[in-house]
Structure 1
Amino acid sequence: MAIRFLKFIYQTLQQSLRTSWVLFKIMIPVSIVIKVVTELGLLPYIGKILSPIMKLVGLPGEMGIVWATSLLVNIYGGLLSFVAIASQVEVSHAQLTVLLSMILVAHSFPVELQISSKAGVKLWVMFVIRFGFAIVLGVILNLIYTYGNYLQEAIVLNPIVSNRADSLWLWALNELKNYALIIVIIFVLILALKLLEKVGVVKLLNKMLYPVLKVLGIGKEVIPISLIGLTLGLSYGGALIIDEAKTKKLPKRDVFYAMTLMGLCHSMIEDTLLMISFGGHVSGIVFARIIFALIITYIIVSITKRMDDSRINSLMNSNL
């Protein structure tokens, strides 16, 4: 019994390291490039490019640097950028919620788009879906808040993000800590998935969620992985799809629809709590984000399910 248990743990650890390595091959070079771009001070110029989009969604043009930082670095980098310029620009509660909701949809593109690509969806396809949906969500929320006269009071910023040291040594040390944490998280996720599968919870979840996710075109094979992506993050959900695709043949449509939903709405626990703590309103951060993500996914499914397999294959990479 003990030998079987140790073998089970060993196999799970092997799978965790294999899955983590897939992520690290993407994250490490991208992190270095982004650090160089940041150190060279190029982010403000990219922010200016996004300024017209900010005005389209009712935000000051200066917020372009915040979204640019979120897109190229991560959510925390975007929030730190916001803290840096918040004293120079007056922003309402509604505007902050619009900005944070857009960031939740579209962030960390250099890493997350590569992971989506490795999982099977072409990089440009996921870029269009997430970047486009972020703008659509921003426009809709701005219209609702403006014409409904909701959340128009000026914000009192209560950031929970602390500044990080600029030292290259501390940056590298922090990156190593993050990578170690990723290995631990992936090990726990895979272990939990296997245990849940053995005790029948995965089967029960599949049965409960199948009617809902079937409407969205997501098959039973990827429902558990989709749940991980939705709750914990695209990196973890995408990494598990990459690993799963190596051991079994996943239908391309299932992968495309699952990655679409995860791309539009992921990390519903950590990132949601972070944005609400930062000052975002639950109406945009939670409700609008989930509702419109489901609607957009349904629209994409409705359009693409009429396509033949060759058209779907044109949206996917050949690694599946």
Structure 2
Amino acid sequence: MNRIWQCVKKALPKAAKTCIWLLKIILPISLLVRLLQYSGLLAKISALLAPAFSFVGLPGETAIVFITSIFSPLYAPIALISSMSLGVREATILALMCLTSHNLMVESSVQAKTGSSFWGMTGLRFVMSFIIAFFLNQVMPHDGWGHVGTTESAAVCDSLLEVLVLWFTSSMKVLVSILLIVTVLMILHYVLDEFRLMKGLSTALSPMMKVFGLSENSAFLWLVGNVIGLAYGGAIMVEQMDNKQLTYSEGNLLNYHLAVCHSLLEDTIIFAAIGIPALWILGTRLFFAITVVWVRKGYSYIYTRRIERI
């Protein structure tokens, strides 16, 4: 118990710093959405972008969420989604788009250091976000869903004071949930590290790598990418590559998988907290991550055979 308590004491200060950082992201962005709703600008932007996003079953206003996700961590689009009134079906499609294409500049840079092309990974994630959205729009039932985020729009508020009250109350509900999740996950990371459970878990997961189309050597970095994430786990991934724990060819294949499916633990919990169905997140991300790797392996095999014939 003493070791666990030490993990908690180590985690709490970092969790507090992370929470302050999240406050700086979530509060301004959610306020901006409320003001855009109140001014009527969001409705005009939605009308302009509606034709493009209707192709994947989304209203035009969601384009703002997706564009924001490309340049920022996931907490920014979560704040935006929570400030809108979306059906669970639409929110799920949008969440999967953001999960695939978020924080691209940072995360693609990490992947560029572990065997892949920066622009290759960026392009793959951007294209896959629309492929996944199109797929979900075809297979998800249209009926029987509730709502995600607030059902109240600032567009119907009579004064700026009402907008501010609506913004504050809705933001606090989201923030409390996220702050609790972040703190628990931070403690979990320290516990896994203290008891050296990551290595044991990666050994147990090694056989699963074959199903994923990856080498068994990829198991540890797969776990790092899905428990800690690309941005925070980047240093570990680079170190493992430098120590030759994985070849660059194996690292490149792993990056194809992680481009579509990473931070599986944290991302799923956080989106589930605002009402997105966890099974749709998990199943969709794993399915397309596995598909991308096997398509890549098939392409490499065909290309190699052609070269040999020349």
User: Shorter-normalised TM-score: what interval?
Assistant: 0.5 to 0.7
TM-score after normalising by structure 1:
0.63
1:262 aligns with 2:255: no
1:221 aligns with 2:217: yes
- Cα 1:224–1:119 change in 2 (3 A) is same
1:281 aligns with 2:294: no
Per the alignment, residue 116 of structure 1 pairs with: 111
Counterpart CA distance in 1 for 2:114 and 2:256 is 11
Q: Quote how far apart the aligned CAs of 1:54 are.
A: 2.4
- Cα 1:213–1:305 change in 2 (3 A) is farther
Moved more, 106-115 or 149-158: 149-158
Per the alignment, residue 95 of structure 1 pairs with: 90
Counterpart CA distance in 2 for 1:305 and 1:239 is 31
Counterpart CA distance in 1 for 2:82 and 2:213 is 40
- Cα 1:128–1:55 change in 2 (3 A) is same
Per the alignment, residue 139 of structure 1 pairs with: 134
TM-score after normalising by structure 2:
0.65
- Cα 1:270–1:187 change in 2 (3 A) is closer
Q: Quote how far apart the aligned CAs of 1:289 are.
A: 2.2
Counterpart CA distance in 1 for 2:234 and 2:103 is 14
Does the aligned pair in 1 maintain the 2:207–2:216 contact within 8 Å?
no
Counterpart CA distance in 1 for 2:127 and 2:52 is 11
- Cα 1:249–1:153 change in 2 (3 A) is closer
- Cα 1:186–1:210 change in 2 (3 A) is closer
Does the aligned pair in 2 maintain the 1:216–1:301 contact within 8 Å?
no
Amino acid at match of 1:103: C
Q: Quote how far apart the aligned CAs of 1:278 are.
A: 0.9
Counterpart CA distance in 2 for 1:73 and 1:137 is 20
Counterpart CA distance in 2 for 1:212 and 1:277 is 28
Q: Deviations over 1:100-141 (max 9, x none)?
A: 122112111121111111222111111122112211111111
- Cα 1:162–1:50 change in 2 (3 A) is farther
What are structure 1's unaligned runs of at least 5 residues? 1-33, 164-177, 312-320
What is the root-mean-square deviation in Å for CA atoms of aligned residues? 3.7
Amino acid at match of 2:292: I
Does the aligned pair in 2 maintain the 1:229–1:262 contact within 8 Å?
yes
What are structure 2's unaligned runs of at least 5 residues? 1-24, 33-40, 151-169, 177-181
Counterpart CA distance in 2 for 1:132 and 1:94 is 21
1:105 aligns with 2:100: yes
Per the alignment, residue 301 of structure 1 pairs with: 297
Q: Quote how far apart the aligned CAs of 1:277 are.
A: 0.8
- Cα 1:63–1:156 change in 2 (3 A) is closer
